[in-house]
């Protein structure tokens, strides 16, 4: 329905080009809602309407999505692909072949692995033309450091790296120049919201900005969310309030190994989520462990988990060792703790890097 109670509609023929005008900050939410209504027209471009609004193309006036007004959008049909936009800019077929093949729109920011593409600034401008709701394009160069901090570069747009991304109804506020967000984990985030039971007790050992915490809490779980990166923790707290789950999320800025003893004394968790890739690495005294390998997290997870509880263990695993290595590590840790493991499911989440997969193992621990 119209935000201001007044809808401006044209009475012209059905071949008119309609657009719903929405505020820029909520454009992604509106697009998701319009898609759900079945009226979003993805054959036309989203265009700026005023300084603080965009015109989102629709096939009919929305009935469920909030908007300011419905207008007749005059303009050319959308150039459907990045290749189209680059070709219009005079790029050769060889240059286009080196252009990025994938990217993600996160709120008002386009996040792209630029690779060896020529003229990154032109790629950025083309992506802004392709995604009218976006205002900044960031080239992603990798993740490093103890706090898993991203290395990014603004290649087009106004340079604002703070945004709010909406995914399956969950809202994530973040600064993509300071905290990581993996678009490839979208299905796994949604799965965690589907898999929990209302009021069950969950420990999210590496909560970040709330990647898994938020969908689980929105589904009714009581989540203890632990994050030691101060910037990520700030966004975690903000996102808890943004999603109205403050009564179901208990955030701690700490090392999860320091939280587990008190948590276990207060009654163990029905479910533990280990979303950090290196959390199952061998102990530091194991010669096979890389110099910076995290250790003892798996032991802490088992200490926190109630008998019959479920553990979700994420790992970056060489393709040749999927799923054998993470299962072997889990079973070895459980045996040492005097516990039995039943593997419930395995998931290949995404490609982590060349020859390495991001996987997750779901296990019941007795």
Whole-number Å distance between alpha carbons of 275 and 211: 9
189 is in an annotated binding site: yes
- In this structure, what token pair is assigned to residue 288? 């096979």
Q: Decide: 360 and 314 in contact? Cβ < 8 Å.
A: yes
Q: Which of 166, 161, 185 is nearest to 110 (CA)?
A: 161
3-state secondary structure of 250: strand
Q: H helices of the chain, where?
A: 27-37, 82-88, 93-97, 120-130, 186-195, 213-218, 230-242, 256-265, 297-304, 324-336
In terms of Cα–Cα distance, which of 180, 159, 163, 182 is closest to 172? 163
Contacts of 195 (CB under 8 A, 6+ apart): none
45 is in an annotated binding site: no
DSSP class of 77: B
Report the distance separating Cα 24 and Cα 108, nearest Å. Answer: 8
Strands 162-167 and 170-175: antiparallel
Nearest CA-CA partner of 297 in 308, 316, 283, 318: 283
Tell me if 336 is assigned to a ligand binding site: no
Length of the chain measured in residues: 366
**Mapped to the 3 state alphabet, what secondary structure does 178-202 carry?**
CCCCCHHHHHHHHHHHHHCCCCCEE
Return binding residues for S-adenosyl-L-methionine. 182, 189, 227
Return binding residues. 182, 189, 227
């Amino acid at each position: 329905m119209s935000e201001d109670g007044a809808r401006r509609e044209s009475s012209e023929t059905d071949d008119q080009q309609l657009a719903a005008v929405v505020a820029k900050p909520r454009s992604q939410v509106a697009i998701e809602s319009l898609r759900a209504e079945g009226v979003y027209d993805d054959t036309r471009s989203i265009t700026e309407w005023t300084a603080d609004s965009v015109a989102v193309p629709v096939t009919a006036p929305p009935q469920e999505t909030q908007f300011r007004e419905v207008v007749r959008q005059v303009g050319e049909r959308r150039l459907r692909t990045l290749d189209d936009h680059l070709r219009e800019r005079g790029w050769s077929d060889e240059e286009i072949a080196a252009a990025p093949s994938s990217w993600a729109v996160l709120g008002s920011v386009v996040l792209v692995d630029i690779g060896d593409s020529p003229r990154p600034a032109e790629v950025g401008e083309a992506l802004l033309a392709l995604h009218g709701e976006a205002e900044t394009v960031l080239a992603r160069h990798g993740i490093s450091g103890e706090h898993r901090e991203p290395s990014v570069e603004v290649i087009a747009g106004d340079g604002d790296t703070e945004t709010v991304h909406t995914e399956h109804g969950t809202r994530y506020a973040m600064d993509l120049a300071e905290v990581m967000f993996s678009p490839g984990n979208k299905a796994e985030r949604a799965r965690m919201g589907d898999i929990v039971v209302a009021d069950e007790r969950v420990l999210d050992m590496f909560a970040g900005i709330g990647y898994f915490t938020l969908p689980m809490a929105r589904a009714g779980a009581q989540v203890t969310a632990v994050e030691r990166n101060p910037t990520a923790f700030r966004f975690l707290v903000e996102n808890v309030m943004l999603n109205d789950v403050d009564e179901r999320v208990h955030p701690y800025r700490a090392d999860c190994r320091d939280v587990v003893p008190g948590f276990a004394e207060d009654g163990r968790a029905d479910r533990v989520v280990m979303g950090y890739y290196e959390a199952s690495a061998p102990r530091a005294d194991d010669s096979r462990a890389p110099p910076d390998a995290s250790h003892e997290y798996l032991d802490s997870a088992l200490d926190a988990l109630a008998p019959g509880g479920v553990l979700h263990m994420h790992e970056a695993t060489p393709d040749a060792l999927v799923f054998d290595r993470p299962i072997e590590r889990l079973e070895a840790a459980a045996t040492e703790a005097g516990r039995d493991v039943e593997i419930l499911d395995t998931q290949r989440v995404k490609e982590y890097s060349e020859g390495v997969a991001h996987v997750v193992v779901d296990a019941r621990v007795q």
